[in-house]
Homo-oligomer: A and B are copies of this chain.
């Protein structure tokens, strides 16, 4: 099966997701710049989630570049990833409106963790479909970065629960910084 429509559909869903998050930034009624003040936490959580969804799009783009054909399992593994991504606007909105309170920050971290798990599952499905000596399999073999991220999310969840929300957020921001650069292992493979 061709991969083209899988890419087009994922692009569409991620484009809508990254854009409707901004609807949570409700137009304030006041006129002065002071009216924007209560929007800071909403804005900051928007920035963080925009970066996260951008990271997922970048890596999805890279991973599919090393993929030539797909199968029915890949379609569902991809929808599974899109499902958890589709909850990001909701968990972002709750965290922002509650000024990074503990409950919402934990839920946000859990959402990020589930997105990462779904991405790992999709990667595994693609590798199983293409064989363990395919370019993708060799590009991500070991996958220290992916496994370390899962651990970081778990530590972040614990920190948000046992220490404070900002401690959890520090972990989530750290993971984002690590992934800001699209996977160089794959970029090398594509260049070959």
Contact pattern, A 8-28, Cβ under 8 Å of B = 1, otherwise 0: 110111111111101111011
Once A1-B187, A13-B18, A19-B16 are accepted as A-B contacts, the answer to whether A79 and B65 lie under 8 Å apart by CB is no
Question: At the interface, yes or no: A144 with Cβ under 8 Å from chain B?
Answer: no
A41 to chain B, nearest CB (A): 13
A11 touches B18 (CB 8 A): no
Residues of B within 8 A of A5 (CB): 7, 11, 61, 64
A31-85 CB contacts (< 8 Å) to partner B: 31-33, 35-36, 47, 50, 54, 57-58, 61, 64-65, 71-72, 75-76, 79, 82-83
Chain A residues at the B interface, C-beta cutoff of 8 Å? 1-2, 5-9, 11-20, 22-25, 27-29, 31-33, 35-36, 47, 50, 54, 57-58, 61, 64-65, 71-72, 75-76, 79, 82-83, 86-87, 89-90, 93-94, 97-98, 101-104, 106-107, 180-182, 184, 187, 190
